[in-house]
Amino acid sequence: MTVVPHELVAGVLSETPDLSVSLMPLRGRFSLRLMPEGTDPAGEVLGFRLPTRIGARQAAGSREVVCLGPDEWLVVCDDADRAVIEQGVATLAASVPHALVDLSDRELTVMVSGSRATELLTLGWPRDPQSVAVGTARRTVFDGVTVVIWRDGETQWRLDVWRSFAPHVLDLLLTGCRELAAG
């Protein structure tokens, strides 16, 4: 039995020709909150148009953003880019009421890919995977845990999980890998 690493070190946790599960290295991550009228100026600072449909994504270089709620965005970036984003958004302060909170250490990211990746997610995901189009993402629930699920390709998924929930989520995913490999 694969044991979920207590220390949560990034790397491949399970791999077969049709399915792989990996823990990704930490990236920069911010919660950005603002009123609708702030989306344009904030987008200018960040370098892309902030999407306003829930689940829609935008990317520019190594930065990407997803709209999680009517006034909520999740910004993912390289670690080194964090200070740049913080300074940039800080210039908004006077004109655009907003909140930028660093969450780079709150969550871990699990990558699930391969031709059976979507099937693996059905072990704990009540939602229809087909309702999440390629290139979008959603905050949703997986095995009772709040996660943000990104669909990067037809069979390529990313799950952002709060640090302390990650072992529980990984345990089910790795149990599922063994189950799928058996038949």
Partner 1 sequence: MSAFRVHGKGRVNHGRKVGFRFDGTPFEGLEGDTVASALLAHGVHLMGRSFKYHRPRGPVTAGSEEPNALIETRRGIDRSEGRVEPNTRATMAELREGLEAVSQNRWPSLGFDVGAVNDGFHKLLPAGFYYKTFMWPKSFWDKVYEPFIRAAAGLGRSPDAPDPDSYASRYLHTDVLVVGGGPAGLAAARAAAEAGLRVTLVDESSEIGGSLLSEPDVVIDGTPAWDWLAGEVAALAALGVKLMPRTTAIGYYHQNMIGLVERVTDHLAEPDPALPRERLWRVRARQVVLAQGALEKPLIFDGNDRPGVMLAGSAQTYLNRYGVRVGQTAVVVTSHDSAWSAAFDLAAVGTSIAAIVDTRAELREDLLGRAHALGIEVLRGHTVTGTAGRLRVSAITVNPVQSGAVGAGRNIACDCVLMSGGWTPTLHLFSHTQGKLEWDEEGKTFLPFETREDCQIAGAGRGLWGIEAALADGSAMGARAAEALGARVLARSHAVERDRTGSGVAKKELPTLKDLTSTRAFVDFQNDVTAKDLRLAVREGMRSIEHVKRYTTNGMATDQGKMSNINGLIIAADALGKPAPQVGLTTFRPPYTPTSFGALCGYHRGDHFDLTRKTPIDPWAEAQGAVFEPVGQWRRARYFPKPGEDMDTAVARECLTTRSAVGMFDASTLGKIEIVGPDAAAFLERMYTNPWSKLAPDRCRYGLLLGEDGFIRDDGVIARLAQDRFHVTTTTGGAARVLAMMEDYLQTEWPHLKVWLTSVTEQWATIALNGPKARALLEPFVEGLDLTPEAFPHMANGTCTVAGFPARLWRVSFTGELGFEINVPARHGRELWEILWQAGQAHGVCAYGTETMHVLRAEKGYIIVGQDTDGTVTPQDAGLGWAIGKAKPDFVGKRSLSRPDMLVESRKQLVGLLTEDHSKLEEGAQIVLDPSQPIPMKMVGHVTSSYHSQALGRPIALALVEGGFGRMGDLVHVPMEDRTLAARITGTVFLDPAGDRLKM
Partner 2 sequence: MLLITCPYCQETLPEAEFVYAGEAHIARPEDPSQVSDEAWRDFLFIRTNPKGPHFERWRHLHGCGRFFNAVRDTVSDRFLTTYKAGEPKPDLATLTGEAK
Residue number, 19 or 57, with CB nearest to partner 2: 57
Query: Rounded distance, CA 147 to CA 134, Å?
Result: 17
Check: CB of residue 78 under 8 Å from CB of residue 28.
yes
Query: Rounded distance, CA 66 to CA 156, Å?
Result: 17
Q: At what angle do helices 39-46 and 82-90 cross, to 10 degrees?
A: 140
69 lies in the site for partner 2, by CB under 8 A = yes
Residue number, 45 or 145, with CB nearest to partner 2: 145
Query: Rounded distance, CA 177 to CA 110, Å?
Result: 14
Give the one entry of partner 1, partner 2, none that residue 82 binds, where binding means its C-beta sits below a cut-off of 5 to 8 angstroms depending on kind.
none
Q: Which of 32, 65, 68, 111 binds partner 2 (CB under 8 A)?
A: 68
What is the binding site for partner 1 (CB under 8 A)? 6-7, 26, 31, 33, 35, 71-72, 97-107, 122-130, 143-145, 162-165, 167-168, 171-172, 175, 178-179, 181-183
